[in-house]
Amino acid sequence: MLSKRIIPCLDVREGKTTKGVRFEDNVDIGDPVEMARFYYEGGADELVFYDITASHEKRGIMIDVVRRVAETIFIPFSVGGGIGSVEDMRQALLAGAEKVSVNSAAVRDPRIISQGARIFGNQCIVLGMDAKKVEKTRKTPSGYEIVIDGGRVYTGLDALQWAQKAQELGAGEICLNSIDADGTQDGYELQLTEMISTRVDIPVIASGGAGVPAHLLQALTQGKADAVLIASMVHLGTYSIAEIKSFLSAGGVKVRSSW
């Protein structure tokens, strides 16, 4: 039986991990390669790196990070943030990423999903989507709208319709982030997660709002997610992956328990 995946997410700016990262052991704080090794050895099932480098000129630094991560860990990892073209995808995949994730660029031009899927295979293409709760209208019948550019720009796209369209275009997986829950540590947006996860055929990773292991359990059971993205709760050292997995296992969720 397939295990539910626990996926730490690292934000990387100009080659350094950012956002309140605190490690107690001998991990070089802020070095994404050392953090990748730490999570790999600690039982993470997959990793996600988001490049939040602001300037385009410094993007090459990320490719170097990807290459070094790929030499260090032997589990899948994906790269997102700043992937705006098939060429960007190619560079990240050749450097050793297993998957690339597209978000705003796919909203602006959905063909990037189909082109990427055709060239690299569906399994390589993750659609990252940021959804915000809105009133149910004719334009947004699911009650969730897609926002881009870090939540600043409303697109008028219905979240469910966009998820289904991305699947048709060839996305192999969806990373579903709730803008409302993101950063709150109050739990995932379960209604949104359940709606998308049960209405598409491809795997869905729940993102945004994790604070305690019980939140992960909810997203994987009530929310019917296939995987969960976590950040602060492990970056701050509050929980280890092993602790989280024992909790989930005790709650009846199948997780990978040996590594």
Q: Which residues are catalytic?
A: 11, 130
Q: What are phi and psi of 159, to 5 degrees?
A: -60, -45
CA–CA gap between residue 205 and residue 197 (Å, rounded) = 9
Q: Residue 1 CB: number of other CB atoms within 10 A?
A: 3
Q: Nearest 5°: phi and psi at 86? A: -60, -35
String marking each residue 217-256 x if it binds another protein according to CB under 8 A = -------x-xx----------------------------x
| Residue 87 touching another protein (CB under 8 A) | no
CA distance 223 to 176: 11
Quick one: CA dihedral 82, 99, 179, 111, positive or negative? positive
Confirm or reject binding of residue 93 to another protein (CB under 8 A): yes
Quote the tokens at residue 56: 């385009």
Report the C-alpha gap between 220 and 235 in whole angstroms. Answer: 21
Q: How far is the CB of 95 from another protein (least distance, A)?
A: 8
Question: What is the rounded distance in angstroms from the CA atom of residue 176 to the CA atom of residue 225?
Answer: 10
Q: How far is the CB of 88 from another protein (least distance, A)?
A: 15
Of the candidate spans 16-24, 80-88, 114-122, 154-162, the one that interacts with another protein by CB under 8 A turns out to be 114-122
Total of chain residues touching another protein, rule CB under 8 A: 34
Q: Which of 61, 70, 86, 212 binds another protein (CB under 8 A)?
A: 70
Least separation in angstroms between residue 64's CB and another protein is 15
Least Å distance between CB 232 and another protein?
24
Terminus-to-terminus CA distance in the chain, angstroms?
17
Question: Is 258 among the residues that bind another protein (CB under 8 A)?
Answer: yes
Contacting positions for another protein (CB under 8 A): 1-5, 40, 45, 70-71, 74-76, 93-94, 96, 98, 120-124, 172-173, 198, 201-203, 224, 226-227, 256-259
